[in-house]
Chain A
Amino acid sequence: MDLLEYQGKQLFARHGIPVPAGMPARTVPEAVTAADEIGYPCAVKAQVQIGGRGKLGGIKIANSHEEARLHASAILGMDIRGLTVHELWIEGASEIAAEYYASVVFDRGAKAPLVMLSTKGGMDIEAVAAEDPDAIARLHVDPLLGFQAFHGRRLAFEAGVDADVVRPIGALLARLYEAFIAEEATLMEVNPLIVTPDRQVKALDAKVTLDNNALFRHSDNAELRDLSAEDPQERMAQERGLTYVKLDGNIGILGNGAGLVMSTLDVVKGAGGEPANFLDAGGGSKADAITSAVEVILSNDKVSAVLFNIFGGITRCDEVARGLIEAFAQINPTVPFVVRLDGTNDVEGRAILAEANLPNVYAESTMDGAAAKVVELASLPQTPAAS
């Protein structure tokens, strides 16, 4: 789960990481009140989970009450690369003497948190890594030992930060690491980490990703979920316990198990089709889960054919067949379905489907055959199902 900038900054502040004073706002009057309270000049910042919002007009400096009103009206409701701005963050404008970069990343390859520090702040760190890898000081921390004071000094000296801020930056890294562990994050990035002319260090931005699997231990973080940024179909699927990712094509896909579904997408694409979604109905899919899954897939009106690819382990093919029949009774789909059932109780499942004789449902026995069939059907002009 990705936090908005201001949510990340509020989280930083709770862990003693210095951030500029600021207030969130959802309306223009709220924004103006906040700006008046913070004082001028102040920054009016769009809260969307996307990089480069400054260049796209999502961050403006207000020098007066009137400018705060103008900027807030312009930015609220604005579309930034497909995301609508629902919230603003108003904060005191900061003077900048130096821009650095700091982060803690969950490094799955090394099985350890990776702490990075660079004096090349304010830029895309992947570009810095590609062009000038030596400009980034890196350190893997043994999670059983934790972040030590010397780690902070080593990073600060190796990155070459100004001598007078070695100590405060080391302290900030220690707090960032502590927050990363305490909040169970997979990413905490500060870019830029600034030094002001009076030599204070501050996190001017905050990019925080939290582990969804750990939210049960962090109920206050769980409430921060940004529903406006989530696709409505993906949310509907999640509420029904399904894993759904919307894609750009027209062939709806349902399978059981993440690996098999990914493989199904590849095979469909290999057969010349374009998948409309990834949908994992999960292990042990019962009839009602299948009905929900069909509803979710068909809620995308680009879908012109659907492929069911089931290899039953825990999942029983007869349950899947019953679920599909139930779904047809409830939804009466108008697009063709190709169904491939293999594995536990596959013979029973196929027999149940054959007996039900559903309109526009085609049984296939192999994954490759099923993919070829669904691609063929998806490219045909739409014919309504016989009722």
Chain B
Amino acid sequence: MSILVDKNTRLVTSGITGSEGTFHTLRNRAYGTNVVAGVTPGKGGQDVDGIPVFNTFRQAVQEQGANTAMIFVPPRFAADSILEAEDAGIELIIAITEGIPAHDELRVYNVLKKNGRSRLIGPNCPGILSPGKANVGIIPASFFKEGNVGVVSRSGTLTYQVGNELAQQGFGNSTIVGIGGDPVPGSDFIDVIALFQEDPETELIVMCGEIGGDAEERAADFIAEHVTKPVVGYIAGFTAPPGKQMGHAGAIVSGSSGGAAAKAEALEARGVKVGHTPTAVAQLAMETLGAPA
């Protein structure tokens, strides 16, 4: 098992005819992801290396049975594309696009929540990888193998770093989920941790947080109440000065909230072990699960 993406995934890429969209869609397909369609308005009827392109998401769903969307269009078109995918009944929408206006994200979040039929991962995220089953997004899959550690993270390359440290200790992954570094992510730690809790293959959950917002603190409360599996945490940005945005739109310590130390404390107070470096995270995984077979 795994969560969110697997052999049942039927992927449609929005922005498939752009250079990045083409490159990563074909890479995902080469990994084994079932890519069934692309959407680019005005290019319906064309194909990208055999993948049929449609003008609308409705057509991609009706003709190809797409159930998962990957959003690769530029920021100014991304909210519209996510809403179109939702309107077409796509269950899982994964938005890679970086730089979407915050008010667009707010609107999208609230529409999806009100309608209650689609789940959004991202935006500004590296996507989702279930090793051996499917890769949707830009995660370099060759570093990861199948296993029992579920990873959820706000940052792309940090996920690779932590995942690589785990891999060097011999651990594989059930699924790796990048939830993105924006102020209003479609899904947060709680949503993904709840899925890992229900996933029989996942035996350890690793969450990689960073400064800004209170998603880690809320996750700590959720874990204490609802999660029986062991959780290991990591927080980036202990040394980040207040008031400076550290790259991600969401990564800023504002006023008294959002600091790394407070997040680590909140997690530790609820029984989550927190590694202070990526290497330490892998060591905590070893201590928790024992050396992998």
Contact = CB atoms under 8 A, between A and B. Distances in A.
B126 A261 contact: no
B236 A263 contact: yes
Contact of A260 (B143, B161, B211, B256): B161
Interface in A180-234: 181, 184, 186, 211, 213-214, 216-217
B246 interface: yes
A350 to B, nearest CB: 16
Interface string A251-262: 000011111111
B48 interface: no
A213 B160 contact: no
A348 interface: no
Contacts, number: 162
Contacts of A255: 157
A62 B249 CA distance: 42
A213 B182 CA distance: 11
A213 B101 contact: yes
B83 interface: no
Contacts of B76: 216-217
Contacts of B75: 213
Given A258-B246, A258-B251, A259-B181, A266 B157 contact: no
Contact of A313 (B106, B156, B211): B156
A256 B157 contact: yes
A151 interface: no
A30 B158 CA distance: 52
B249 A213 contact: yes
Interface stretch (B84-92, B198-206, B275-283): B275-283
Contact of A126 (B211, B251, B255): B255
Given A211-B101, A213-B249, A266-B237, A260 B158 contact: yes
B227 interface: no
A177 interface: no
Contacts of A261: 246-247
A367 B140 contact: no
Interface string A281-310: 001000000000000000000000000000
Interface in B139-177: 139-140, 143, 153-161, 164
- Chain B, interface residues (CB within 8 Å), range: 35 or more
A313 B107 contact: no
Interface SS of chain A = mixed
B138 interface: yes
A262 B211 contact: yes
Interface of A: 106, 108-109, 111-113, 126, 142-144, 181, 184, 186, 211, 213-214, 216-217, 243, 245, 247, 255-263, 265-267, 269-270, 275, 278, 280, 283, 311-315, 342-344, 366-368
Given A111-B106, A265-B237, 8 more contacts: A108-B250, A213-B249, A214-B102, A217-B101, A259-B155, A262-B158, A311-B164, A313-B139
20 contacts: A126-B256, A143-B107, A186-B102, A213-B99, A213-B101, A214-B103, A258-B155, A259-B155, A259-B159, A259-B208, A259-B248, A260-B157, A262-B237, A262-B251, A263-B236, A265-B237, A275-B239, A312-B140, A313-B139, A367-B161
Interface of B: 75-76, 99-104, 106-107, 109-111, 113-114, 126, 138-140, 143, 153-161, 164, 181, 183-184, 208, 210-211, 213-215, 218, 234, 236-241, 244-251, 255-256, 260, 276-279
